[in-house]
Amino acid sequence: MLKGKSALITGSTSGIGLAIATALARDGCNVMLNGLADAAEMADIAAGLTRDHGVKAAFNDADMSKPDEVAALVGATAEELGGVDILVNNAGIQHTAPVHEFPTEMWDAIIAINLSAVFHAIRAALPPMRERGWGRVVNTASVHGLVASVNKAAYVAAKHGIVGLTKSVALENAGTGVTCNAVCPGWVRTELIERQIAARAAEQGIEIEAGARDILQEKQPSQQFVTVEQVAGLVVFLCSDAAAQITGVAVPIDGGWTAQ
């Protein structure tokens, strides 16, 4: 249903981002991958997407903490793929510490990559979308865009910011054919979460899998991790014509976390 569209997915070298890129390619989208990774390895992944799905695929290592590089990434995607019909802002980093001990440099880095980069990418991508009368912006927020947790001040602030930005962009573009939504995953067993599981296991002196179960029991009523494929499926739906009148929403995919 998205055949011939072109998508830019930031933070898509692995995990949720790569799953989203793969799902969009499967539906016929040309895709631009982005992130900090080995260029040769990413060239192989891009070539695999082309081989498997018959789409154009490329990689750009723009640093999302630098506004000029974010804008250049949007421009490069338009040049290589013929436009940016779909923008998925997925790049993100994490650091945990109490507010009074939180390193200021980590606060600045998280806000820059998790929030400001989203603004810069949307700002660059919107005008051509509006001109064409069709566009999809999907921002990866988190359950932490809806509720808070301890020791994650910067991450929670950035993700709440994304939800607010999503609503503003949606309202400003209502009726233009451009929608803007956020997806809010709960625990997804990515590399970022693996580090938190390992820290929990070490803190309590338990095995890794016991640490994983402990994290789930604390927050996620389903007692199951959300999969990257499930998040990707939600993003593809929000890009479809069936979701043309869904805009300005933050959709939890969290096993019941935010229902509590």
Q: Which residues are annotated as catalytic?
A: 155
Report the Cα 68 to chain-centroid distance in Å.
20
Residue 87 to residue 10: CA distance in whole angstroms: 8
Residue 241 to residue 260: CA distance in whole angstroms: 32
CA-nearest of 88, 92, 72 to 80 is 72
Residue 122 to residue 139: CA distance in whole angstroms: 10
Burial bucket for residue 241 (CB in 10 Å: 0-12, 13-18, 19+):
exposed
The number of helices, as runs of H, and strands, as runs of E, in the chain is: 9, 7
Residue 187 to residue 55: CA distance in whole angstroms: 31
Give the DSSP letter of residue 145: G
